[in-house]
Structure formats: C-alpha cells, structure tokens
Amino acid sequence: MSIPKTKYIPPVVLIVGAIVLALVFSEDELRGKASYYSDALQGSPTASGEPYDPGEYTAAHRELDFGTEVEVTYPETGESVIVVINDRGPHTDDRIIDLSKAAAQEIGLIDDGVGTVELRPLD
C-alpha cells in the first residue's frame, strides 16, 4: 500500500485564503436583522446605566463597546442613521441589533418592525 503524496501549498496562498475568509465572515457579521425597543421600556436602565430614551439615537449590540458609533443602513429604504451603543442585546438569537424608536423611525423600520440592516462601526 502506498501513501498518497501531499501537495505543497505555498504560505502566501494560505495567507491570502485566510484573509479572504476573514473578510467574508466579517461582512456576514455586519448584516442581519434589526428590531427596535418597545415604548414600555422608556426610562428603564440600559446595560450602560443610562435610562432608555426612545427619542435618542441609541442601540443595543452584543459585543461592540459602549459609546461605539455605528452607521445603520436599512437597504429596504436606503436610509441610514448613526447610533451610539449603550445597551446589550438583542436577546433574540436571529437579530444583530436593537434600535431606539427614533433610530428605527429615521430609517423607516417602524412599520416593518423587523428588517435586515447593514452595520458599519465608525472610527
């Protein structure tokens, strides 16, 4: 029985492949479903300690640091809004961000309730 020969893969090919995979997966993480906070939560403390204010442009994200500004685009309407992360969530597995009511209104998400958005953290 002979042992099959393995093919040599140059390191540069492996590095380029890893970069491509990283870009593909990072883009997937920045696109997903969004919803917005219920009016019943007005005044409730967020994870950062700030009370939820439906009139402010804020949002909840599972990983981004508090204070991070994020551009949220709703391709359905073509509208974008900049929000500040001040809470943790969403607490529903199929969503990537919860928006304040004002932010959801700005991009036209109110009538749909839930929609696919694109996120771009700002430097």
pLDDT digits (tens, 9 = 90+) for 37-82: 999 999 999 999 999 999 999 999 999 999 999 999 999 999 999 9
80 near 46, Cβ under 8 Å?
Answer: no
Torsion on CA atoms 41, 103, 74, 72, rounded to nearest 10:
-100
Q: For the whole model, what pTM was predicted?
A: 0.77
Give the CATH number of domain 32-121; options: 3.40.640.10, 2.40.40.10, 2.120.10.90, 3.30.360.10. Answer: 2.40.40.10
| Residue-level pLDDT at 82 | 99
19 near 83, Cβ under 8 Å?
Answer: no
Q: Interior CA angle at 27 toward 106 and 118, to 5°?
A: 10
Residue 2 has pLDDT above 60, yes or no: yes
Enter the tokens of residue 9: 């893969």
Pairwise CA distance, residues 28 & 118, whole Å: 9
| Residue-level pLDDT at 8 | 73
